[in-house]
Structure 1
Amino acid sequence: MSTLGAADGPVREDDLHAYVDGHLDPARRRMVEAYLQADSEAAARTADWAEQNRRLSALFDPVLDEPIPPRLTAAIARGRQRATPAWSLGGWVMRAAASFAILAIGAALGFGAARYLGDDGADDTLQATLPLEAQTAFKVYVAEKRHAVEVPAADVDHLTQWLSNKMKTKVRPPDLTALGWTLLGGRLLPSSDGPACLFIYEDKAGRRVMVYLVSNANNEGTTVQFRDQNGVRSLYWLEGPLGYALTGNLERGDLMPIASVVKEKMRF
């Protein structure tokens, strides 16, 4: 990167992130803007980050305004009843506020809050969280044009070895070319059940589907199930060391033959 004046130091990656997030003071912001005008690559990168922030905000901000589900408010009420008399009203208010914050953040991210609150009716099994997290990943990453994947299909051998090491089991993107789907690449990401990864495919019409994999520590097995979340659809199942979720905007009937091939190809 180019450097600025000695008094302010060079523009670094964290400066660019702070610029996108609006956390720079006015003087530093002006310097970063001058830097971006001179570096088209850095400008494009920060524009991508800003667009990611916009999409994440569009996805998750409405959730923060939704009412707390009755089953969760009931869980908080039960927690209050179990509390000792030594609790003051102020302590309860603070605890409730913290709980509401955790619930809102967990709902926005699509996972985590139920596990924090404990087993009070929340379905936090892998079978339940798998499609939710897959559909969240689809919304965040698949629409990206430049940064949908971390490792492109051209480096599929490296991608396979890297993800297999992280997932602690053999992982390789299934070949879907016979169905008209070309691999774009893949990426590693976290989940509430440990490491997860995804592979993104595109057809000649520009449509994309995603194969999402997550660790299945208990080696549970399930039949293929279906979930539709506002037009983002998943066929998902557990088999061997992994959980699978084929996810896209396609109709269920269009996803089914792809899921059949994925199931066959992913049996090592």
Structure 2
Amino acid sequence: MRTMHEPVTELDLVAYVDDQLDPWRRVAVERHLATDPEAAARVMADLQARDELRLAFAEPLPHEAPETRAAARRLARGLGLDRMLVRLAPMAAVLVLGGMIGAGVAGLGPLRVPQVVASEPPPEFIQAALEAHEAGRLRLSMQSQPAMPRLDAAEIRAKTGILLPGLPGDWQVQDVQIFPSPQGPSVEMALETPELGRLSLFAVRPGSFRVALPDEMQASGLEVAWFQIGEVAHVLVAEAAPPDALREAAEGLSRTLY
């Protein structure tokens, strides 16, 4: 057990936001925040995002049918998000109901809305991710532009407010860069993976609060999967990937953020 006198780390700040600290450790974190305005501002922003998320899904859907709730539970289990069920069940129910309406079919298992019937265009940050992917690919091909494979997720979060997901142990980081984008500073990572080959992970704060489960699409001849948790959006871009593989990888990354 950590005591009041041990240095406060980034993990302590995350645990503080998630209400995972004992009272003595919370006092130590609050004492640290009182002397670190920048850290205090980030923690307050995270607390606000947490509370907004809880409020957004606090009320049940009106006249929610038992079949809809059961379908929502199947969707959550299929995505491996059982721990998120309490806070995301209403949203999952909306997704399932929307899928049944779009497809014109009821009583199916996990449903996916085809891209052709999607009710909204892809987020604007998808284009920024594609441009960052191309810039990163070009950079790695140039001898005069040395790669920067060192990843300091805590420093990136402190400077940009971008929380990066945990990477699988067999994914190798080849390059990490801060890129400008229409949405503000972004992070572009070049990765080498056993199953998907070379791909990039793009992360940015798009300026809106949203919880969007992983989805995939094709753009500019590339495979793209994206999701958003709170104020940070994440995009995986691959030259080629088996069907559903990139989306499943995005699901795995999204689970590390909870």
**TM-score using structure 2 length:** 0.45
Larger Rg: 1 or 2?
1
**TM-score using structure 1 length:** 0.44
